[in-house]
Amino acid sequence: MSQIISGIRNNLKYWWLYLLNGIIFLIAGGIVFSNPFSSYVLLSIFFSITFFVTGIFEVSFALSNRKHHTGWGWSLASGIVDVVIGIILMLYPAVSMAVIPLFLAFWFMFKGISLIGFSIQLQTDGIPNWGWLLVGGIVLIIIAIFILDNPALGIAAILGLMAAAFWATGILSIIFAFRIKAFKKAHHL
C-alpha cells in the first residue's frame, strides 16, 4: 500500500508537467489556426505515414496468424494495399492533401448512414429520443455532400477541428494541473 501512496505523491509533485502540456497544446492550436497551409501539409504527411504504418502492421498480423486465421489472405491483401497507398501518398504529398477532404467526406457519409440505421433500430425497439440520432445522421450526410461538392470546406473543417481539439486538450490539461496542485496543497503531500 505504501508503494501506491508513494507513487501518487511522486505524480503530484510533477503537477506542473500537466500545466506545461496544456500550454503546449494551446500554442499548437494557435499555430494550426494561424498557419493553416503549413498545418495542412503536416497533416497530409501524417495521414500518408499512418496509411503506410497501418499497412505494415496489417501485413505482419496476417502473416503471423496465417495458420490460425482462415481469412488471413484478405488481411494480407488489405495491408499490402495500405502500404502501397501510403507510399504513393508519401511520394506525392499533393495527392494526400487532395484525398484528405474526400476521406473525411466519405467517413461523414458512413457515420451518417450508420447513425440513421441505428436510430431506426432504436425506434423499432421503442427507445425514446431516437430522433436525435436520425437528425445527427442526416446532418452528417449533408455535411459530407457539401465537402464532396467543395473540398476546401473539408480542409477548413479538418483544420478547425484540429485547432479546437488542441485548444480543448490544452484547457483541460491546465485545469487538471491546477486541480492536482490544489489536491496536493490540501492534503500536504
User: pLDDT tier at 62 (50, 70, 90 boundaries)?
Assistant: confident
Range of the structural domain that residue 40 is part of: 1-187
Q: How many domains does the chain have?
A: 1
Residue 1, classed as helix, strand or coil, is coil
Query: pLDDT tens digits for 67-102?
Result: 877 778 888 888 899 899 889 988 988 888 888 888
pTM of the model: 0.60
Q: What percent of the chain has pLDDT over 70?
A: 94
Separate counts of helices (H) and strands (E) for the chain = 7, 0
Place of cell 497544446: 25
Which of these, 52, 145, 150, lies nearest to 96 by C-alpha position? Answer: 52
